[in-house]
Structure 1
Amino acid sequence: MEALDLARWQFGITTVYHFIFVPLTIGLSLLVAIMNTRAVFAKDPVRKDAWTRMTKFFGSMLIVNFGIGIATGIVQEFQFGMNWSEYARFVGDVFGAPLALEGLAAFFLESVFLGLWIFGWGKMPEKIHLLTIWAVALGTTLSAYFIIAANSFMQHPVGALLNPETGRAELDPSQGSILAVLTNVTAMAAFPHVVSGAWLVAGAFLTGVASWHMVKHHRAAREMGLETEEGQEQHRAARDLYRPTVRFGVVAMFVSAIVLVISGDFQAQIMFKQQPMKMASAEALCETETGASFSILTIGGPDAFAEQCGDVTHLIEVPYVTSFLATRTFDATLQGVDDLNAQYKEEFGETATNIHGEEVEVDYRPNLFVTYWSFRLMMGLAAFSGILALWALWVTRGKGENARTTGSKAFQWFAVLAIPMPFLANSAGWVFTEIGRQPWVVHPNPDDPTVRLMTLQGVSAHPSWMVLASLVAFTLVYGVLAVIWFRMMQKAALKGAPLPQRDPETEELDTPTLSFDY
């Protein structure tokens, strides 16, 4: 493999691995903040105790996830200088600004206040302590915004011009400079979509873990007998401790689903204008069509989903839907992959100069197979969260003394199965976003295409063996970290929150602790 292919594999592997932790940190920090708020302002001592225990239980897992996310995230920025130095040279004056804001503002905000939240229990006034976890939630969300703003410049460059003398992109004061980059319409559309995706991840995680324990305690109560003190304790744990958390997670999933659908629809309309090749590939729309259909299942010949359309056959499709999604009219004409490829060759040239000064042929079509199926996996995998939410609502229906829990093993295991699905859906969405942009690492703005850079022009001039060595090293290190992270999260999740214990003399509940026994 060439150094370019290896560099792309390395960046793809480390980025996808790092993004496992990102949405859970963003979403869980907000949900933990809300649970902490409910604990602080609860009037009923039983509810106050229950929400405090759930806050500390899921807070312990937030801490683990945050720590591993830092360790893996640092590598992302190093790679711009390691294997993508030409890209960094070209776009560094613009791309570096939002990255600096993310590091100097958002990251320090979330990390400093997370430390105050962890070690401030019982040492700070309760409401002041509550503000620290809300500062963490704000910091993680701001961090996401700055990263998305940087990525959106790669998707749709604004606020910059090309310096013909240096061959570099520079901030342009006449276009609004850094403010234009931060208010890029692409970023404004992507931000709610990414953040709501993170809420879905956290909501499914919260619901899945709490459902597991709710079923466990429900079954334990039935085995011990509700007439015994031990059985009553298990019953209270299922009903008063974990059931409210399950329903809270379901609410988070419903809210995130609404925002996801609305923001995703808006983002798709923008991409049809800014990156029509990406959206045509997402639908395997090879030829220009009027009233284009939405493809549900497409197959083809042996090369149909490589770089060429080939013998593509749409087995299941819904007429006119793609045209409607793109333009809000059913009879709109959308350009196909092959026609767009011919247009781009005429506009940008059939060849390009790589970093070695060689003229190479350029194909402006992304990998059709990956683009098409990652788009569908993004939507299809999210359906597991919908099933979990509806099932969880059904088995926990009722209020007060009639509030139900369940001992269903099928529900318990489905809840666990549903946990990784929104993680995978988020990753599939980013694979679609990045692969669909190829062969561009900075996609040209249709209104001003002067600021643009191809992937083959952004890589460093390293020999293949050097990139391969770093690829192997990072993969091994990340593999070890993956095992450590999984075991730590598994241990914390299976342990559960400590059950309430009452003092036999005062009848007061004991104080739950934030566990660090990893």
Structure 2
Amino acid sequence: MDALDLARWQFGITTVYHFLFVPVTIGLSLLVAILQTVWLRTGNPAHLQATKFFGKLFLINFAMGLVTGLVQEFQFGMNWSTYSRFVGDIFGAPLALEALITFFLESTFLGLWIFGWDKLPRLVHAACIWLVAIGAAMSAYLILAANSFMQWPVGFTVRGPRAELTDFGALLTNQVALATFPHVLLASWLTGAVLMACVAAWHLKRRRNAEVFRVPMRLALVGTVVVGAGILFTGDNLAKVMVRTQPMKMAAAEALYESAQPASFSLFTIGNLSGKEPIFSIDVPGLLSFLSTGSFDGKVEGVNNLQAQYRQRFGPGDYAPYIPLAYWSFRFMIGFGMLAVLVALVLLWLTRRGRLPENEWVWRAAIWAVVLPFLANSFGWLFTEMGRQPWIVFSQLKTAAAVSPTNGVGHVAASLAAFTLLYGVLAVIEVRLLLKYARQDPPEPEPATEDDGPLAFAY
């Protein structure tokens, strides 16, 4: 491997690792806010117990996500100085807003929420966690606006080695950002809901604290099913935007080498994905045309045709991503996400009207389903970023030209080893903390009064 390969591995590893925490933060902040609102409306002490219990898990994840995000940013200057110089003026505005406004909103009101249980009026205190949830969503949008510039650059002009921002409004209203944000937001809510269902299922399986965990279980299962339907809708819209902006990515997702009208979608393929006929394939006629154009008879451009267009536009080169990775990551993203929804739908039926299933495998499925949204999120980002290759900023800057020119293999290998070791330690800490507090009983019930005790990591 050369320095470029190692730098790509390092950024990919740290980004995927960091994004394990982000959707949990976004998802749990909303669910904890809903639980606290339910407590305010009903006065049931069990809902207050559930709020504090899952609030503790949210706080652990928030802290760990903050640390991993800081480490991730170091790499821009270390390994990608040419890229940083090119996009610095563009990324500066949305990332500054993210740090100065949304992160300030999150951290300030999260502090008020943690220490304000016995000091703030109940409605004001509940508003704090809602503002944290809103801040987390706003933060996600600003970061996605920066990322969307890499997918479809708008609102800029190039002067020398730098892209300079000319229209901040165009950057914030990038069609890719507008399509990506609801999809990522819903995926994050699904992740938080499945995690909540997993923890509640572990307690209900042991018939412990059923009065506390029934409502979170039902809330999480209903949320997973509803959000899953929304993910299908937003995913369809995102696919159409992707075809308009990066048609090569959609062609790679289907391993469609020759343009087709109509174009079928292969659910599963065995065989060569390099342009030869597959050994075995299960296809849905017209589905790729619908995903791409909204019509079951629409035309979808193939890899070979797009290669010819890009070579004419950008010069000689290979402009297709690694097809097998794009093909399978796209399917794993959809498959794992929808499997989580299916598990939730089955559990929703089996736990209707307060039932607690006796079958051991039902609860095991509920607990182990927690890995599904994390896998779906990871494969989704692999597809998003790898499907854009060979561009780091589409049509403007190739990945091979963006790496720091003075970095040698030894420098990158050393930092890769250091980050891997650090993230390994953080992973052990995160898992142990979450398992420790997820297995504990909820805090003792308290009367629904203004004198509720402060939330802390331990009771």
Normalization by structure 2: what TM-score? 0.96
Equivalent residue for 1:50, pick from 39, 46, 66: 46
Instruction: Check the 8 A contact 2:52/2:443 in 1, yes or no.
Output: no
Equivalent residue for 1:495, pick from 420, 440, 453: 440
Give the 3 Å change call, closer, same or farther, for CA 513–97 of structure 1 in structure 2.
closer
Equivalent residue for 2:371, pick from 420, 424, 430: 420
- Aligned position for 2:163: 169
- Aligned position for 1:222: none
Equivalent positions of 1:451-490 (< 5 A) are 452-461=396-405, 462-490=407-435
Distance in 2 of aligned mates of 1:65 and 1:517: 15
Give the deviation of 1:382 after TM superposition: 1.3
- Aligned position for 1:358: none
1:129 matched to 2:125? The reply is yes
Give the deviation of 1:311 after TM superposition: 5.2
Structure 1 gap ranges (5+): 218-233, 351-361, 445-451, 503-507
Paired residue secondary structure (1:290)? coil
What's the Cα RMSD here? 1.8
Give the deviation of 1:314 after TM superposition: 5.3
Equivalent positions of 1:373-452 (< 5 A) are 373-398=328-353, 403-444=354-395, 452=396
- Aligned position for 2:88: 92
Give the 3 Å change call, closer, same or farther, for CA 429–485 of structure 1 in structure 2.
same
Q: Deviations over 1:220-257 (max 9, x none)?
A: xxxxxxxxxxxxxx5xx32x221111111112112211
- Aligned position for 1:256: 227
Paired residue secondary structure (1:333)? coil
Q: Deviations over 1:54-100 (max 9, x none)?
A: 10000000000000000000122221111111011111111221111
Paired residue secondary structure (1:122)? coil
Amino acid at match of 2:371: P
Equivalent positions of 1:235-246 (< 5 A) are 237-238=209-210, 240-246=211-217
Instruction: Check the 8 A contact 1:52/1:512 in 2, yes or no.
Output: no
Paired residue secondary structure (2:267)? strand
Give the deviation of 1:394 after TM superposition: 2.0
- Aligned position for 1:39: 39
Q: Deviations over 1:438-471 (max 9, x none)?
A: 0000113xxxxxxx11001111011111011101
Distance in 1 of aligned mates of 2:350 and 2:278: 44
Q: Deviations over 1:38-68 (max 9, x none)?
A: 11221xx4xx201100100000000000000
- Aligned position for 2:259: 288
1:267 matched to 2:238? The reply is yes
Equivalent residue for 2:150, pick from 154, 165, 181: 154
- Aligned position for 1:334: 300
Distance in 1 of aligned mates of 2:179 and 2:279: 32
Give the deviation of 1:286 after TM superposition: 1.2
1:183 matched to 2:124? The reply is no
Distance in 2 of aligned mates of 1:433 and 1:293: 21
Distance in 2 of aligned mates of 1:3 and 1:415: 43
Q: Which moved more, 1:370-379 or 1:321-330?
A: 321-330
Instruction: Check the 8 A contact 2:85/2:161 in 1, yes or no.
Output: no
Give the deviation of 1:499 after TM superposition: 5.4
- Aligned position for 1:228: none
- Aligned position for 1:80: 76
Distance in 1 of aligned mates of 2:55 and 2:149: 34
Give the deviation of 1:199 after TM superposition: 0.5
Distance in 2 of aligned mates of 1:151 and 1:411: 39
Q: Deviations over 1:334-360 (max 9, x none)?
A: 22112211221121011xxxxxxxxxx
Distance in 1 of aligned mates of 2:441 and 2:260: 55
Give the 3 Å change call, closer, same or farther, for CA 511–128 of structure 1 in structure 2.
closer
Distance in 2 of aligned mates of 1:478 and 1:202: 22
Instruction: Check the 8 A contact 2:190/2:223 in 1, yes or no.
Output: yes
Instruction: Check the 8 A contact 1:374/1:432 in 2, yes or no.
Output: yes
Instruction: Check the 8 A contact 1:53/1:512 in 2, yes or no.
Output: no
Distance in 2 of aligned mates of 1:443 and 1:82: 22
- Aligned position for 1:112: 108
Amino acid at match of 1:151: N
Instruction: Check the 8 A contact 1:57/1:514 in 2, yes or no.
Output: no
Paired residue secondary structure (1:289)? coil
Distance in 2 of aligned mates of 1:288 and 1:501: 65
1:198 matched to 2:188? The reply is yes
Structure 2 gap ranges (5+): none
Distance in 2 of aligned mates of 1:416 and 1:126: 33
Distance in 2 of aligned mates of 1:486 and 1:467: 28
Paired residue secondary structure (2:268)? strand
Paired residue secondary structure (2:157)? strand
Give the 3 Å change call, closer, same or farther, for CA 334–454 of structure 1 in structure 2.
same
Distance in 2 of aligned mates of 1:369 and 1:474: 28
Instruction: Check the 8 A contact 1:26/1:141 in 2, yes or no.
Output: yes
Q: Deviations over 1:375-405 (max 9, x none)?
A: 001011013322322222222212xxxx322
Amino acid at match of 2:397: L
Instruction: Check the 8 A contact 2:293/2:299 in 1, yes or no.
Output: no
Give the deviation of 1:287 after TM superposition: 1.3
Give the deviation of 1:408 after TM superposition: 2.9
- Aligned position for 2:309: 343
Instruction: Check the 8 A contact 1:381/1:424 in 2, yes or no.
Output: yes
1:28 matched to 2:28? The reply is yes
Q: How many residue pairs align between the two structures?
A: 456
Normalization by structure 1: what TM-score? 0.85
Distance in 1 of aligned mates of 2:9 and 2:308: 28
Paired residue secondary structure (1:317)? strand
Please tell me whether Structure 1 or Structure 2 has the larger radius of gyration of its CA atoms: 1
Give the deviation of 1:310 after TM superposition: 4.7
